[in-house]
Each structure stands twice: as structure tokens, then as C-alpha cells.
Amino acid sequence: MFLFVIKYLKFLKIIPGAVLIFDSWLMLWTLISKPDILDHIDAIEKGVLGWNNTNSGLHKYGGLQLNYTIHELGHVHSNGLLDIPLSRKLKQKLLKEGRVQHHHTLVNTGWISFYIKTNEDKNYAIKLLELSYQSSLQRYKYHHP
């Protein structure tokens, strides 16, 4: 259902607030169908916010966005789909490990997608976000030596 909406109804995102509403429905559906996912998302947020200079907010396409200062580390949609921007090299390495997928829409980029379902997935998601955090830190050090 999520992928159907993203693929065929994405033009609706021009309506102010539409993505927030969609994410609320996703959240209500997750509460009914797989409530543990909401706890995993909370735990991921808590984990990431424990790192220096991180913050969270609403993602422009709905869901929770995690940032290092103003740079996005990744975002989690309320159905547990985590999207993270990485380098293409790192993405290829992770794809070989077989747990992550190409991003659900941005296939030919460094973005990856990962579905959080279990407690183990939650821990892996934090590891992936840590990779994104480390990349952001390195980029920051490169630009601010």
C-alpha cells in the first residue's frame, strides 16, 4: 500500500499537509497491525539523539527525520521504512551484505532503504544511521578543518 501511494499518488504531495496526513494514517495502521514498530522508531530516535549535535523533526515527505546539525542522517516512515543517504561505495558494500535495499524511489543514488520489523532490525538501523553520522562528521571535518 505504502509503495503504491509513493509510486502513483506522489503528485498529492503538493497539497499542503497531505504528507503529514498520510503519515498519520500510516502510523494509525502501524499501531493496529504492528505496534512494536512504533516502539522501535522511538528507540532509534532516542539512540540517535544521544549522539553529539543531532536533532529530529518531521520529514518533508512524512515520518521522523534525524539530523546531524542541519544535515539529514536519514528518515523513518511510520511503517518502519528507514531511508538513509550514503555514499555509493558504502551502499554497494551494504547491498552485498544483503540486508538493505535500493531506496524505494531513488534507485540510482547512494540512498538505501531498510525495513525495521524486529528488535534486531532496530539495532541494525541504529548501526546504519551511525554510518551516516560518521560520514556527516567526516564531511564536516573536511569542510571545517
Partner 1 sequence: MINKIFSAANNGFIVPNGIAIIIIGITKYFTSFNNGTLIFSEFVIIPFLMGIISSWYWRNEGLSSKKLILQSIVNCLIAICLSMIFLKEGFICLLIVSPLLITFIVTGAFAGRAMFKRNNQELNVSIIALLLVVFVIDSTSEHHYQNMVADTVVINAPVNKVWKNVVAYKRIKVPGKFWLFRVGMPSPVESTAEGYYLGAKRKCVFSNGYVFDEKIVTYEENKNLTFDITDQPRDPEIMGHIDILRGQFLLKDNGDNTTTLIGNSWYKLYVFPTWYYDIWAKSITRNVHLRVMEHIKQLSENK
DSSP-based helix, strand, coil % in the chain, nearest 5: 55, 20, 30
Residue 53 Cβ vs partner 1, minimum distance, rounded to whole Å: 14
**Of residues 109 and 119, the one with the C-beta less far from partner 1:** 119
Element (H, E) at 137: helix 119-143
As to burial, measured by CB atoms within 10 angstroms (0-12 exposed, 13-18 middle, 19+ buried), residue 16 is exposed
The one-letter amino acid at 79? N
The smaller minimum CB distance to partner 1, of residues 100 and 125, is found at 125
Question: Taking the complex as a whole, how short is the minimal distance between the CB of residue 64 and partner 1, in angstroms?
Answer: 8
**Least gap, CB of 109 to partner 1 (angstroms):** 26
3-class DSSP assignment, residue 71 = strand
Shortest Cβ distance from residue 126 to partner 1 (Å)? Answer: 17
Interface residue list for partner 1 (CB under 8 A): 17, 20-21, 23-25, 27-28, 31, 35, 38-39, 41-42, 55-58
Question: Least distance from C-beta 118 to partner 1, angstroms?
Answer: 17
Q: Which cell is 122 given? A: 532496530
In angstroms, the CA 80 to CA 145 distance is 36
Nearer to partner 1, 17 or 98 (CB): 17
Considering the complex, state which of residue 27 and residue 100 has its C-beta at the smaller distance from partner 1.
27
Cβ-based nearer residue to partner 1, 9 or 28: 28
